[in-house]
Amino acid sequence: MPDRSDVVYSYDGSFRGLMTCVYESFYAREIPGNIVSWSHGQATLYDVKEIKTDSEKARKVMKAISEKISGEAMTFVYHAFLTCLCGREAHILDFIYLGFKYGRKVMRMLTDETVYILNKAVGHLLNETALLRGFVRFSDFGGGLVATIEPKNNVLPILKYHFLSRYPQGFFLIHDKTNSLLLIADRGKSRIISVDGFTPPSAESDELRYRALWKSFYDTIAVEGRENPKCRMSHMPKRYWANMTEMSDRQGRGLFLERGLIPEGK
Amino acid sequence: MFDTEVINTDISEKLAILGAAAKYDVACTSSGVDRAGRKGGVGSTVASGICHSFAADGRCISLLKVLLSNSCVFDCSYCVNRRTNDIKRASFEPRELADLTMQFYRRNYIEGLFLSSAVIRNPDYTCEQMIKVLEILRNEYRFMGYIHAKAIPGADELLIRRIGLLADRMSVNIELPSQKSLQLLAPDKSKEKILNPMRTIQRSITESRTELVRYKSAPRFAPAGQSTQMIVGASPETDYQILTLAAALYRGYGLKRVFYSAYIPMVESRNLPALTTKPPLLREHRLYQADWLMRFYEFEPSELLDEKNPNFNPFVDPKCSWALSHLDRFPVEINSAEYETLLRIPGVGVKSAKKIVAARRSGPLDFEGLKKLGVVLKRAQYFILCKGKAMEGVRLSRESILRGLMSDRSMQLLDGLAGEQLSLYDNETVTRADVIKCLTGQM
Ligand code: SF4
C-alpha cells in the first residue's frame, strides 16, 4: 500500500464515482489524504483531484473486489458506502487495499481497526434498515401509499426490497428527508430519485379514521402496571417517533376525540 | 344477571374492548416463516419477525392482536372475560375484522393478525367464526401477511386442522403450569382439553412437512409452528417446575416458543394472589433468560435449577448463576476454547462467540480485541484468559467475582424491585452485604 499523499479526491457522491476513485488510486499509486463528494465542496489546503465517474473503471474495480477478495466483501463495500460514517470513503479505500493484500480472510479480521470501524457502521445501517421495515408509516391517498422517513443512513437502496415484496401490486412512495431521496414504486418496479422537497397531500377522512383507530389500539395494548418507558425507548429510539402515526403529535388526540373518532374515556 | 349480550357497538369501541381483552396474551411475534410477496397478493412474511411499534410497557407490537369476541360461556377464575364477570361485551363481524386488518396492514402498522376468542356459544361455533375471518383474508383479499390463530380448547379436530391451513402459527395456552392449578382455577378446562389440540397441531405440522417434500404445492399447515403461554405467579409452581414443563413441551410437542406471563391480579378470589400483589416481572424476566439458554445455549433445566434450589436468584442472571456454581470450569482460554465452551461464559453471547471463533483464526485475541467483538468484559472478565493471562487487576475468586457482578447490573435491579421479590426477606431492607451473603450461601 503506497503512502498517504497530500492530494484529495473529489467525486460526484455516487457509488460508481467512489469505485472510480479506487481505480485512480490504484493506477496512480497514491493514497489520497481524503475522498470527498462534490456536494461537500469545502475549501481545503490540499491539492484537489477531480475524479470523473467512469462506469467501465468502476466495473473493473467491482469485479476485482468480487474475485480477489470475495462477493461478501463486495456487498460489504456497497453497504459501507450507504452508511453515515464520517469519512467513509477513505475507510472503504483502506479496506479494499487491505482486502487485496489478505484476500477473503479480511472479512474475519474483526479486530483490525479499519474492518472494525466499517463493521460497526454497516451494523448500524443494517440495524436501522431492519427497524424501519416496521416503523415506516404509510398514508393512503386514494390507493397510493406515501411515507416519510428521516434515517441516519442511506437506507432506501436496501429497504426498498422489503416493501416491494410486501406490496407487489401496489403503488407507493417513500420520501427520505435526510438524504433528499424519493423511492417511487409501481407494481414491483422501482427507482430512487433525488428531490429537493416533497409534500404529501393532506389526509382525507378515511385516512384520519384509520390513524385514529391505530392510535387507540396502541394505547389499549400496553398492560397497566408494567409501564417501562426506558425499555420502549431503547427498542424504539425517539428520533423515529416524529414519523410514526401512534407517537407523533400525541396532542392531536384531542381533535380526534372531538370528532368522535375515539371513544371517550379511552 | 350478567350481561353477556352483544351490544351493537361501533368499530372503534369494539377495537378498544377486544384489543384490551387480548393484551394479556403476550405472544406478539410474527416470526418463524419467510414468504416473499407474490403477484396478485398483498403481503409477505419475514422469518425473524418484525416489530412495528413498542407499547408503553416496552413490548413489541407486531400483530393486530384482538379477540373475535369476549362473550365467554366459560368461567376461568383468573380471566376478565369469564362468564360471571360484569364487563362490557363486544364481537367483531368477520368481515369487519378482516377489513380492519387489511387497512392496518396497508399502512404498515402491523405484520398481520393475531386472532383469539372467548368461547362464544361453544368451542366449535367459535372456531367456525374464526375460520370465516381467515377465509376472507386469505381467499378473498389474497392476504399473504402473518396470521397467528389460537386454537380453542375442546373444539373439533377437523376445525383446528382447517384453522391451521389458513394460519402461520397456532397456539394453545397452557396458562397454568400444573394439572392441580388447572382444576382449581380453570374448571372448564382440563389437561386433556389443552394437550389434545396441541397434539393435533403437532401431528398436522409434521404431516404437512412430509407432504411438502413430495408435492411442492401441498397445503402448508402452520408453517411457523406452534407456541404456548404460561402464567407465572397465579399458582404456586416453582421456576424449576415451570422450566421443566417448558423443556418437555419443546421436546415432546415440538413447540417453537413458550411464553411466560407475569400474573397481574384483576380478580378477587381466595384461590388467587391478593389484588395488591405486584406482577412478578423480574421472575418472568429470569424465566425468559433461562428459556433462551435452553433454546440457544443448550442448557438443560436441571443444570440451572434443582429440587433444592427451585427458584432463580433475583440478583444474578441464570447464566452468571450457573457459572458461579461451576467455577471449576473457569477460567476459559479464549484463544483455544471450543465454541460450546465459549457460549457458557457470562458476557459472551451467540454472536460474539461466533465472532471469536472467526476472528482468532487470523491471529490471537487480546482483551482489547474482545471488546471490538462485542464481548461484555464487565461480566466476562472473571471467567476468561487471553493468551494465558487474566485481565489486569481481576482476581478470579468467588468473593471478588460476586462483588464485581453485584456492583453493576444487579444493584440497579434491586432499586426497581422493592415490594416484589424482596418479600423473600420479610420486608427488611436488603443491603449490598446481605445480597453477597445470600449468594455465598451464608444467609
Ligand atoms: S375460556 Fe378463555 S376467555 Fe373464557 S373465561 Fe376461560 S380463559 Fe377467559
The confidence band for B410, taking pLDDT boundaries of 50, 70 and 90, is: low
Inter-chain touch A244–B358, beta carbons under 8 Å: no
B50 touches chain A (CB under 8 A): yes
Domains and CATH numbers, chain A: 7-127 (no CATH), 136-201 (3.40.1620), 203-266 (no CATH)
* Separation CA B389–CA B383 (nearest Å): 11
| pLDDT value at A227 more than 90 | no
The answer, yes or no, to whether any atom of ligand 1 lies below 6 A from the CB of B82, is yes
Q: Which residue in B has a C-alpha nearest to residue A220's C-alpha?
A: B20
Q: What are B341-354's pLDDT values in tens digits?
A: 999 999 999 999 99
Query: Cell for B82?
Result: 369469564
The share of chain B scoring above pLDDT 90, in percent, equals: 55
Query: Cell for B352?
Result: 460474539
Alpha-carbon gap: A240 to the closest alpha carbon of chain B (Å): 10
pLDDT for residue B164: 96
Query: Cell for B320?
Result: 452468571
B259 and B323, same domain (yes or no):
no
The confidence band for A31, taking pLDDT boundaries of 50, 70 and 90, is: very high
Give CA torsion, residues B283, B284, B288, B293, to 10 deg: 20
Out of B75, B82, B184, mutate this one to test ligand 1's pocket (max ligand atoms within 8 Å of CB): namely: B82
- The reply to whether B165 falls in a domain is yes
pLDDT for residue A249: 64
- The reply to whether B313 falls in a domain is no
Residue predicted with more confidence, A200 or A29: A29
In this complex, which of A111, A140, A218 lies closest to B106 when CB atoms are compared? A140
B165 and B229, same domain (yes or no):
yes
Q: ipTM of this model?
A: 0.89
B392 and B287, same domain (yes or no):
no
CATH number for the domain that contains residue B92: 3.20.20.70
Query: How many domains is chain B partitioned into structurally?
Result: 2
- The reply to whether B357 falls in a domain is yes
- Spatial CB neighbours of B295, under 8 Å, sequence gap ≥ 6: B250
B176 and B99, same domain (yes or no):
yes
Q: How many residues does chain B have?
A: 443
Q: What is the CA radius of gyration of chain A?
A: 23
Q: Which of B144-158, B265-279, B306-320 has the highest mean pLDDT?
A: B144-158
The confidence band for A6, taking pLDDT boundaries of 50, 70 and 90, is: confident
The answer, yes or no, to whether any atom of ligand 1 lies below 6 A from the CB of B74, is yes
The single-letter code of the amino acid at B286 is R
The confidence band for B66, taking pLDDT boundaries of 50, 70 and 90, is: very high
pLDDT for residue B194: 86
| pLDDT value at A215 more than 80 | yes
pTM: 0.87
- Using the mean position of ligand 1's atoms as its centre, give its distance from the Cα of residue A115 in Å: 55
Mean pLDDT of the A159-178 span: 95
pLDDT for residue B400: 72
Residue at which a domain ends, from B276, B304, B332: B304
* Separation CA A230–CA B121 (nearest Å): 43
B270 and B373, same domain (yes or no):
no
Give, for B437, the enclosing helix (H) or strand (E): helix B432-439
pLDDT for residue B442: 36
Residue at which a domain ends, from B304, B338, B363: B304
pLDDT for residue A48: 87
Maximum separation of any 2 CA atoms in chain A, in Å: 72
Q: Which residue in B has a C-alpha nearest to residue A145's C-alpha?
A: B107
- Using the mean position of ligand 1's atoms as its centre, give its distance from the Cα of residue B184 in Å: 14
pLDDT for residue B26: 77
pLDDT for residue B409: 52
Q: Which residue in A has a C-alpha nearest to residue B45's C-alpha?
A: A166
The single-letter code of the amino acid at A127 is N
B31 and B83, same domain (yes or no):
yes
Q: What are B17-29's pLDDT values in tens digits?
A: 999 988 888 777 8
Residue predicted with more confidence, B439 or B379: B379
Q: What are B102-143's pLDDT values in tens digits?
A: 999 999 999 999 999 999 999 999 999 999 999 999 999 999
B397 and B284, same domain (yes or no):
no
Cβ–Cβ < 8 Å for B327, B345: no
| pLDDT value at A225 more than 80 | no
pLDDT for residue B214: 79
Inter-chain touch B108–A138, beta carbons under 8 Å: yes
pLDDT for residue B411: 55
Q: What are B3-60's pLDDT values in tens digits?
A: 444 444 689 999 999 999 888 887 778 888 999 988 889 999 999 999 999 999 888 9
- The reply to whether B178 falls in a domain is yes
Boundaries of domain holding B178: 11-304
Q: What are B200-250's pLDDT values in tens digits?
A: 999 999 999 888 877 777 779 999 999 999 999 888 899 999 999 999 999
Residues of chain B contacting residue A231, judged by C-beta atoms under 8 Å apart: 54, 57-58
Cβ–Cβ < 8 Å for B3, A253: no
B216 and B91, same domain (yes or no):
yes
The sheet that has B63-67: what strands, in order across it? B63-67, B112-116, B146-150, B169-171, B226-232, B257-262
- Spatial CB neighbours of B399, under 8 Å, sequence gap ≥ 6: B436, B440
One-letter-per-residue 3-state SS of B155-198: CCHHHHHHHHHHCCEEECCCECCCHHHHHHHCCCCCHHHHHHHH
- The reply to whether B256 falls in a domain is yes
- The reply to whether B4 falls in a domain is no
| pLDDT value at B420 more than 50 | no
Q: What are B314-369's pLDDT values in tens digits?
A: 888 899 889 888 888 999 999 999 999 999 999 999 999 999 999 999 889 999 99
- Spatial CB neighbours of A178, under 8 Å, sequence gap ≥ 6: A149, A150, A151, A152
B187 and B163, same domain (yes or no):
yes
pLDDT for residue B439: 44
- The reply to whether B310 falls in a domain is no
Residue A48: closest CA among A1, A91, A92, A6: A6
B70 and B138, same domain (yes or no):
yes
Mean pLDDT of the A69-95 span: 97
B286 and B378, same domain (yes or no):
no
Q: What are B245-296's pLDDT values in tens digits?
A: 999 999 999 999 999 988 888 777 788 888 888 888 889 989 999 999 999 9
* Separation CA B202–CA B161 (nearest Å): 10
pLDDT for residue A40: 64
By CB atoms closer than 10 A (0-12, 13-18, 19+), residue B73 is: middle
B282 and B410, same domain (yes or no):
no
Q: What are B175-204's pLDDT values in tens digits?
A: 888 888 888 887 777 788 888 899 999 999
Give, for A173, the enclosing helix (H) or strand (E): strand A171-176
Residue at which a domain ends, from B241, B274, B304: B304
Mean pLDDT of the A164-169 span: 94
